[in-house]
Amino acid sequence: MNVLHVVGARPNFMKVAPVLNALKSRPHVVQTLVHTGQHYDANMSDVFFEQLGIPAPDVNLAVGSGTHAQQTADIMTRFEPIALERKPDLVLVYGDVNSTVAAALVCAKLGIRVGHVEAGLRSFDRTMPEEINRLVTDQLADVLYTPSEDGDRNLQREGIASEKIFRVGNVMIDSLVKLLPLAQRQSRNGLPGRYALVTLHRPANVDDSAILRSILQSLLEVNRDLSVVFPAHPRTRQRIAEFGLNAGQLRVLDPLPYVDFLGLQSRATVVITDSGGIQEETTYLGIPCLTVRENTERPITVSLGTNVLVGRDPDKLRAEVSLVLAGNAKKGSLPPLWDGRAGERIAALLAG
């Protein structure tokens, strides 16, 4: 059996690693790894491959950045000949980035079976590019691996046959479980004892100067009571410079490798983010998470976990930080199937 994995952006890498690893122990499975090159900086890509133990990609499509249409189209035109040449029995796509939908669309047109890992998540907000990617990928996929029950329900509501849906749990948590002991041994070099860990990269938060200015202002206020540590996505750094904004006293860092970031998360007093995956990682770690978004495609992190949606309301953010500092942070519990074995469940379904 010939399985081809397509990844492209930072949040894909921690999802593919456990599946690749679990399939390695099935001798009748031949695996091919395609990197689209959507993310290309060493600190957004190579370092994740090293730390997660992902083999070098068999093919790198080197598409780089562009508008959504350009990037998606480039991935499609460069991936099509690879799919034709390699003739996979199944192509696995991960998450909700442009590489996910582009590869799924190519395969659907070529009649190649597609499996979607992390299927069924919905924010119900179509202004988010990822929501479009999720909706389209799930309609095209032949096999849908969901992380949680809400995923199954969303897919059924959209008319997807139950026989195609498999609830396997959260693959991202597999990587966390594996590397947490190493992350906890990371040195605390130069870090304050208590800090708020911040990440921001959603276009809705960083591409508009007034919105980004107001978020930075709120973070500067938080920083008076609790040091803010802010590893910034390249997009966010570019926007701060472009809009002439001032991150003042915030500790702005370059993007961090997976293990280093996990170590920082596990010791944070609170995490403030607009990422999807970080909402899940904080829930697993039991660290309070304040999400700077109006909605989430990962509602289980709110219903069971430590996540609170603060939207873009600076008063709400400040109030929630005060609760954390007063020792009254939201408590959470672990969602079902977040046990480090989701990759193994996918491999068992695929290859026995």
Among candidate residues 5, 35, 39, 201, the one labeled active-site is 201
| Whether residue 233 lies in the annotated active site | no
Q: Is 9 in the site for ligand UD1 (CB under 6 A)?
A: yes
| Minimum distance of ligand UD1 from residue 202's CB (angstroms) | 7
The residue among 161 and 241 lying less far from ligand UD1, judged by its C-beta, is 241
Find the binder of ligand UD1 among 6, 23, 97, 165 (CB under 6 A): 97
**Interface region with ligand UD1, contact rule CB under 6 A, candidates 81-89, 147-155, 229-237, 262-270:** 229-237
Find the binder of ligand UD1 among 153, 194, 235, 312 (CB under 6 A): 235
Find the binder of ligand UD1 among 3, 6, 7, 11 (CB under 6 A): 11
| Minimum distance of ligand UD1 from residue 160's CB (angstroms) | 22
Q: Considering Cα of 298, then 342, then 159, then 5, what sign does the dihedral take?
A: positive
| Minimum distance of ligand UD1 from residue 229's CB (angstroms) | 18
34-63: contacts with ligand UD1 (CB under 6 A): 38-41, 44
DSSP string across 268-300: -SEEEE--SHHHHHHHHHT--EEE-SS--S-TH
284/333 Cα distance (integer angstroms):
8
The residue among 79 and 350 lying less far from ligand UD1, judged by its C-beta, is 79
CA distances from 304 to 105, 172, 181 (A): 34, 17, 24
Q: Is 65 in the site for ligand UD1 (CB under 6 A)?
A: yes
The closest of 265, 204, 274, 259 to 229, measured between CA atoms, is: 265
| Minimum distance of ligand UD1 from residue 37's CB (angstroms) | 9
The closest of 128, 127, 82 to 102, measured between CA atoms, is: 82
Number of shown-chain residues binding ligand UD1 (CB under 6 A) = 19
Query: What 3 state SS string does 92-128 have?
Result: EEECCCHHHHHHHHHHHHHCCEEEEECCCCCCCCCCC
| Minimum distance of ligand UD1 from residue 274's CB (angstroms) | 9
The residue among 67 and 189 lying less far from ligand UD1, judged by its C-beta, is 67
72-91: contacts with ligand UD1 (CB under 6 A): none
Q: Is 98 in the site for ligand UD1 (CB under 6 A)?
A: yes
182-221 footprint of ligand UD1 as x/- string (CB under 6 A): -------------------x--------------------
Tokens describing residue 2:
């010939």
241-260: contacts with ligand UD1 (CB under 6 A): none
Q: Using DSSP, state whether 166 is helix, strand or coil.
A: strand
Q: Using DSSP, state whether 343 is helix, strand or coil.
A: helix
Element of type H or E holding 60: strand 59-60
| Minimum distance of ligand UD1 from residue 2's CB (angstroms) | 26
Q: Considering Cα of 285, then 291, then 294, then 297, what sign does the dihedral take?
A: negative
Element of type H or E holding 263: helix 258-267
What is the Cα gyration radius of the chain?
20
Q: Are 59 and 82 in contact (CB under 8 A)?
A: yes
**Interface region with ligand UD1, contact rule CB under 6 A, candidates 137-145, 179-187, 219-227, 230-238:** 230-238
Q: Is 10 in the site for ligand UD1 (CB under 6 A)?
A: yes
The closest of 263, 260, 290, 309 to 125, measured between CA atoms, is: 309
Instruction: Tell me which residues are annotated as active site.
Output: 201
Under the rule (CB under 6 A), what is the footprint of ligand UD1?
A: 9-11, 38-41, 44, 65, 96-98, 129-130, 201, 233-235, 238
